[in-house]
Amino acid sequence: MILFELFKTFFTIGLISFGGGYAMIPVIELEVTQHDWMTIQEFTDIIAIAGMSPGPIATNSAIFVGYRTAGFSGALVSAFGMILPSLIIILIISTFFNRANKHRTVQSAFYGLRPIIVGLIIYAAIKFAVSNELLGTLSFHSISLLGIFGTALLALIKFSVHPALVIIAAGAIGMVFY
């Protein structure tokens, strides 16, 4: 029964979520916590690992959640559930896209979707910041986490440091100070 529930959940997420992996994170988090498969903190840790692993973050997180919930079989059905809707939809869209993408209405629709994708990513970031005590409380712990955040953001934006190096450095800092 749990395998079917994992498949159904991740199939639904894959079907209704648009905008890529990071935009899907709030939906995945909601489902994972509502099913009591893990806490927000555990999910946040999984997102960190999924983000530095090769491949799409949404699929990686589905695999991690599935594995933690039902072992290897859970990982397989979660991954399959997550990618199946995209596979079906992309096959259908690719059939028509070359003809339709020049149409003004289609271009306008894509233009209108861009800000909501950014909004979903910012929403996920704020939820993670609150659940990890970066926002909402003022303590040495929260200030030090904001310092790591600011330094990481600076390294990424100003100095174009590779994200994997920033993640490794932040993990090393966490191991030393926490």
Question: Over the stretch 32-46, which tens digit does the pLDDT of each residue have?
Answer: 999 999 998 899 899
Read off the pLDDT of residues 138-150 as tens digits, 9 standing for 90 and up: 788 888 888 998 9
Given a cut of 90, whether residue 100 has pLDDT beyond it is no
The answer to whether the beta carbons of residues 116 and 107 sit under 8 Å apart is no
For range 116-141, the mean pLDDT: 82
Burial 146-161 (b: 16+ CB within 10 A, else e): eebeeebeebeeeeee
Please state the pTM of the whole predicted model: 0.63
pLDDT of residue 88: 94
The answer to whether the beta carbons of residues 17 and 24 sit under 8 Å apart is yes
The domain locations on the chain are 2-104
Nearest to 152 by CA among 125, 114, 113: 125
From start to end of the chain, where are the E strands? Answer: none
